[in-house]
Amino acid sequence: AQKITQTQPGMFVQEKEAVTLDCTYDTSDQSYGLFWYKQPSSGEMIFLIYQGSYDEQNATEGRYSLNFQKARKSANLVISASQLGDSAMYFCAMREGEYTGNQFYFGTGTSLTVIP
């Protein structure tokens, strides 16, 4: 079974609007971390935001916020005030367990296009 599911292969958003990229996860561990990465056309993977399973507040990093709904096992990324430079692939990832060196599980990604 997929540990990370991203159901939106492609998304479009108007510049300056907000957009939500969906991510659901599947784990039986109590301790886990959720990550979002951005992959622009240049190929490098850029870390955006992290949410720990024990964190009570939703994570925020500038224009990025993570809508963490633990009971629903969802960790949606919200990008506010979209910019043209936000056009990229976005990957949701999870690391299970207490050991911080454990592997990441990734989703299939969402391709975001920001329209001027």
Q: How far is the CB of 91 from other proteins (least distance, A)?
A: 7
Residues that bind other proteins (CB under 8 A): 2, 4, 31, 33, 35, 37, 42-45, 47, 50, 52, 91, 93, 100-109
Residue with tokens 């659901």: 24
Cβ closest to other proteins, residue 53 vs residue 67: 53
End-to-end CA distance of the chain: 38
Cβ closest to other proteins, residue 64 vs residue 105: 105
Q: How far is the CB of 41 from other proteins (least distance, A)?
A: 11
Burial class (CB in 10 A: 0-12, 13-18, 19+), 42: exposed
Q: How far is the CB of 114 from other proteins (least distance, A)?
A: 22
